[in-house]
């Protein structure tokens, strides 16, 4: 049994806290809102994030960050991507050398273009940082529906320790040394999911969705491999797998925000209506900057940015994507000699 502090009482943090309790670990779930922490602790339900899901009696809920971090074997950092650096900085005073911190959010910092694990390492250099990612909606994990994820870490022993800690009969975990590829796939799929949602909002069909998913993973792979990620990662759970579920499911806040954009709402209106952090909106600018920095063609990312921040009409954006110059699908494939 391990002691785990789950930092962030959103839907994903709460679902993982339930999972870890189910696996027999001693778990504390931290919320930055004292009133919310008290309510969850007393009612044994997170009514605003996971309504109808009973929390294990063993789960402790707290708004005391020191209590939730100090002395824990593992810290699961489950705050929104935009709050990762700030939260890590606050945690620093309570962490010990070599303490394992698992980031489970997905995003890229716009100003620095750093991944979330890089931000944590910068703020808490003494920590052992890992990531957990994959096609895993909190709503389904909390209901014990079969789910598969990947743990990425620099050290094999760390990845295998976390694998054993999280894995059970309904939550299978693979390991990978490619932390960068896992994080790039997780962040950029949210941008593509916005595009998929826009297509849904416009009333387009399955052909369009399949095209966006397929060409979306091509864009992610082009950029990710240039940055140092491995192509195998982008064809796996945290690349194609995560992209499929985020583009197809109504659990996906990015897809839901995209649907609203396709129906004519502004980005602000869409985020307000979804009423949760829409990570793709924050990752879109960073993705565009990375594409420019690594000289990578990412037309879907470009059009999403123009819709979000340039006031471009969504139908015009789709038309531009369709009318781009004709190209070969895989440039590495040879033709027969004429």
Q: How confident is the model at residue 331 (pLDDT cuts 50, 70, 90)?
A: confident
| pLDDT surpasses 80 at 275 | no
- Is 255 contained in some domain? yes
Q: What is the pLDDT of residue 24?
A: 98
Nearest-angstrom CA–CA distance, 241 and 252: 14
Nearest-angstrom CA–CA distance, 252 and 213: 14
Q: What's the whole-model pTM score?
A: 0.94
Instruction: Summarize pLDDT for 20-67 with one digit per residue, the tens.
Output: 999 999 999 999 999 999 999 999 999 999 999 999 999 999 999 999
Q: Which domain holds residue 13?
A: 3-177
Based on the residue annotation, tell me whether 189 is a catalytic residue of this protein. Answer: yes
- Beta bridge pairs of residue 171: 147, 168
CA distances to 85, 125, 187, 215, 310 from 202, rounded to whole Å, are 36, 46, 24, 19, 19
- Is 335 contained in some domain? no
Claim to verify: residue 252 and residue 315 sit in the same structural domain: yes
- Is 338 contained in some domain? no
- Is 91 contained in some domain? yes
Percent of the chain with pLDDT over 70: 100
Q: What is the pLDDT of residue 323?
A: 80
Claim to verify: residue 71 and residue 103 sit in the same structural domain: yes
Average model confidence (pLDDT) across the chain: 95
What is the signed CA dihedral for 142, 75, 221, 282, rounded to 10 degrees?
80
Sign, CA dihedral 144-148-149-150, equals positive
Domain count, the chain: 2
Q: What is the CATH number of the domain that holds 308?
A: 1.10.1040.10
- Is 100 contained in some domain? yes
- Beta bridge pairs of residue 131: 103, 152
| pLDDT surpasses 80 at 133 | yes
Domain boundary among 145, 177, 209: 177
Nearest-angstrom CA–CA distance, 258 and 275: 14
Half-sphere exposure of 40 (CA within 13 A, CB side): 32
pLDDT, average across residues 249-270:
90
Instruction: Summarize pLDDT for 285-323 with one digit per residue, the tens.
Output: 999 999 999 999 999 999 999 999 999 999 999 888 888
Claim to verify: residue 85 and residue 205 sit in the same structural domain: no
Claim to verify: residue 238 and residue 317 sit in the same structural domain: yes
| pLDDT surpasses 70 at 338 | no
Instruction: Summarize pLDDT for 76-96 with one digit per residue, the tens.
Output: 999 999 999 999 999 999 999
* Distance of alpha carbon 207 from the chain centroid: 25
Domain boundary among 158, 177, 196: 177
Nearest-angstrom CA–CA distance, 57 and 96: 28
Q: What is the pLDDT of residue 206?
A: 93
Q: Residue 69 in contact with residue 5, Cβ under 8 Å?
A: yes
Claim to verify: residue 216 and residue 77 sit in the same structural domain: no
Domain boundary among 177, 202, 225: 177
CA angle 17, 169, 79 (to 5 degrees): 25
CA distances to 97, 101, 269 from 246, rounded to whole Å, are 36, 25, 20
Q: Among residues 49, 106, 189, 288, which one is catalytic?
A: 189
**DSSP of 283-311, one letter per residue?**
HHHHHHHHHHHTT---HHHHHHHHHHHS-
| pLDDT surpasses 90 at 6 | yes
Claim to verify: residue 173 and residue 187 sit in the same structural domain: no
Instruction: Summarize pLDDT for 162-212 with one digit per residue, the tens.
Output: 999 999 999 999 999 999 999 999 999 999 999 999 999 999 999 999 999
Claim to verify: residue 130 and residue 234 sit in the same structural domain: no
Claim to verify: residue 18 and residue 138 sit in the same structural domain: yes
- Is 334 contained in some domain? no
Claim to verify: residue 33 and residue 163 sit in the same structural domain: yes
- Beta bridge pairs of residue 61: 29
- Is 332 contained in some domain? no
Claim to verify: residue 136 and residue 201 sit in the same structural domain: no
Q: What is the CATH number of the domain that holds 43?
A: 3.40.50.720
Q: What is the pLDDT of residue 158?
A: 98
Claim to verify: residue 188 and residue 137 sit in the same structural domain: no
| pLDDT surpasses 70 at 13 | yes
Q: How confident is the model at residue 268 (pLDDT cuts 50, 70, 90)?
A: confident
Q: What is the pLDDT of residue 332?
A: 86
Claim to verify: residue 166 and residue 36 sit in the same structural domain: yes
Percent of the chain with pLDDT over 90: 86
- Is 248 contained in some domain? yes
């Amino acid at each position: 049994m391990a002691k785990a502090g789950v930092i962030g009482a959103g839907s994903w943090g709460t679902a993982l806290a339930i999972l870890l309790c189910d696996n027999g670990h001693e778990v504390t779930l931290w919320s930055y809102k004292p009133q919310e922490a008290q309510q969850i602790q007393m009612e044994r339900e997170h009514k605003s994030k996971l309504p109808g899901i009973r929390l294990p009696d063993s789960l402790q809920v707290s708004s005391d960050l020191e209590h939730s971090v100090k002395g824990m074997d593992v810290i699961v950092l489950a705050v929104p991507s935009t709050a990762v650096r700030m939260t890590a900085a606050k945690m620093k005073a309570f962490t010990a050398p070599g303490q394992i911190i698992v980031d489970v959010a997905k995003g890229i910092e716009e100003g620095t273009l750093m991944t979330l694990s890089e931000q944590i390492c910068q703020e808490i250099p003494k920590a052992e940082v890992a990531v957990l990612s994959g096609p895993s909606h909190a709503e389904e994990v909390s209901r014990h529906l079969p789910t598969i994820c990947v743990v990425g870490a620099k050290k094999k022993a760390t990845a295998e320790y976390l694998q054993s800690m999280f894995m059970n009969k309904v939550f299978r975990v693979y390991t990978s040394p490619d932390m960068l590829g896992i994080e790039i796939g997780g962040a950029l799929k949210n941008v593509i999911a916005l595009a998929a949602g826009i297509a849904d909002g416009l009333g387009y069909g399955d052909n369009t969705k399949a095209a966006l998913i397929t060409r979306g993973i091509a864009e992610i792979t082009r950029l990710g491999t240039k940055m140092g990620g491995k192509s195998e990662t982008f064809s796996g759970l945290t690349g194609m797998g995560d992209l499929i579920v985020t583009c197809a499911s109504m659990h996906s806040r990015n897809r839901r925000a995209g649907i609203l954009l396709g129906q004519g709402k502004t980005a602000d209106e869409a985020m307000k209506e979804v009423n949760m952090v829409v990570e793709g909106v924050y990752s879109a600018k960073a993705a565009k900057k990375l594409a420019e920095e690594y000289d990578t063609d990412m037309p879907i990312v470009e059009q999403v940015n123009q819709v979000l921040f340039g006031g471009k009409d969504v139908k015009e954006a789709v038309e531009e994507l369709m009318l781009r110059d004709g190209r070969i699908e895989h440039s590495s494939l040879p033709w027969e000699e004429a």
